[in-house]
Structure 1
């Protein structure tokens, strides 16, 4: 991975498309900064809803997770214009419902029940593509996009597992706080100073990752200070590591947005507005397994 310090905000074509500018048009620094602020607000809202649910209890967290899964499904399928959206919607509902039910029923089995859900989803993914009949176009793209969606949906169920563990009422809000704080800090940093960049086409810079990691470390230190397993700086380490994973996934989502904007069909209307939502929710969902593993590795 190379860092380009010579790029200017006007080169972020993919990010501009996500913000609503016409495809192929060079965005301004203001447009790129506005997008980052939008992403920060969406991240704060998502993290706040999940953290509030985890604070209130298992059932409220289940409701919050289900809401995020629904929004992720709609924003991903329609924001990225995935071929075979109707079948993908059915698969997404089945996967999310199955993962949530399995983790609630077997809370002490970790992610093992989720693996069963993914195993059952594999033949259904291929059956879905075969059922598309004569309109079966862009098969690889459809299969890949829906698979990523299903993985993200079942990954969110890890929050339900973490909440049912010992000290889950403390661990889950702290984990969500580290992810949220890291991403929000990174987005605001990129809104002000997105350089040196990771790539000329993406308005995301290395300083944002550093700031995000520091924000996650602070939240981890404060949020986990009452748990004996995370004293002596372990809470800060966990928060920093979780925030680092989330920030890097967010950059990956930005690269994905650049690629999607360069492919036909061109994003229009609601699809453009849904893409930032999909990027935020996908990032938070895929950060959950890393947070679960890190917390249990140190707590165990």
Structure 2
């Protein structure tokens, strides 16, 4: 008889390494959100420039950070979708997100044509199609910030929404760097306290920045801030979960990280900010309306 003295493999990251990752994500979030907020303070043109820079960074970091098949064609589709959404929103600012839906509708057949054009090297078709589709949705979602900026009280609403998203995410990441427990997943250094802290910080920022809007006076401003921060923090947790369980960096892999792996934190942050903007637009208008 032999006894099994082996112990279960601990797949959770080292505390120091996990804390460093969360601090990195917090810094990247502050830079991205700060750039968009600064652009919104400068006006519609300034916001458009900031959005274009974020869209470019998101497309490059996502396509090359996820090592998605068909990157060249995906980059061309991303450029067309981002330019089309920005131009449509600038031309029809009073139509809400409707012009963006038109851009996505036109992108659907192009997505399938792109896969067909890959020819004999066409592999991992579903993965490529899914990753590029998510990217296009995030790119056109950012254009909604222009709609928010150009509507009534947009000079207050757009910077405030971006401030809530940024502050909530930064607070959440720093909390996870210090105390990531209880965790949502053993392998992901993201805990429930960080979500609570992010929501509370979002409520505080919303109350401070939106109380001047009559339709959001009192508790409505805090509620909107908390709701926007909750959406952003949950998306961030989902991005962290997806990154840890990705096949790009298998657990236990030795050696320096590949350039693709180094780009993944940038992609995760920009994707989270981009996908949070439609939620911010809907919540602000639903509560104030």
Of 246, 249, 273, 1:284 maps to 273
Deviation, structure 1 residue 256: 1.0
Q: Quote the residue 1:109 is aligned against.
A: 95
Q: How does 1:183-222 map to 2 (within 5 A)?
A: 183-222=169-208
Aligned-residue offset at 1:90: 0.1
Using the TM superposition, give the Cα deviation of residue 255 of structure 1 relative to its aligned residue in structure 2, in angstroms: 1.3
| CA positional deviation for 1:119 | 0.1
TM-score (norm 1): 0.90
Q: How do residues 244-283 of structure 1 correspond to structure 2 at under 5 angstroms?
A: 244-261=230-247, 268-283=257-272
Shift of 1:261: 3.5
State the partner residue of 1:181. 167
Q: Which runs of 5+ in 2 are unaligned?
A: 1-9
Runs of 4+ in 1 over 3 A off after TM superposition: 261-264
1:157 aligns with 2:147: no
Counterpart-to-counterpart distance in 2, 1:78 and 1:205: 29
User: Does the 8 Å CA contact 1:163/1:171 hold for their aligned counterparts?
Assistant: yes
CA contact (8 A) 1:11 1:202 kept: no
Q: Which residue of 1 aligns with 2:70?
A: 84
Select the residue among 292, 296, 299 that pairs with 2:285: 296
Are positions 1:227 and 2:213 aligned together? yes
2:11 alignment partner in structure 1 = 11
Partners of 1:214 and 1:114 in 2: CA distance: 32
Match of 2:229 among 243, 252, 255: 243
Displacement of 1:272 in angstroms is: 1.4
CA distance in 2, matches of 1:148, 1:220: 28
- The alpha carbon displacement at 1:11 in A equals 3.4
Q: Which moved more, 1:156-165 or 1:255-264?
A: 255-264
> 1:268 and 1:81, CA in 2 relative to 1: closer, same or farther beyond 3 A?
farther
The C-alpha deviation readout for 1:232-283, integer Å capped at 9, x for no partner, is 211100000000000000010011112324678x894211110000000000
- Deviation sequence 1:114-153 (CA, Å, 0-9, x none): 0000000000000000000000000000000000000000
Aligned residues: 276
Matched position secondary structure for 2:264 = helix
Q: Is the 8 A contact 1:212 1:244 kept in 2?
A: yes
Q: Is 1:127 aligned to residue 113 of structure 2?
A: yes
Q: What is the alpha-carbon distance in structure 2 between the residues aligned to residue 220 and residue 261 of structure 1?
A: 38
Please give the secondary structure, in 2, of the residue aligned with 1:198.
Answer: strand
SS in 2 for 1:11: coil
1:69 to 19, 30, 55: 55
Q: Which has the larger radius of gyration?
A: 2
RMSD: 1.3
Q: Secondary structure of 1:137's match?
A: coil
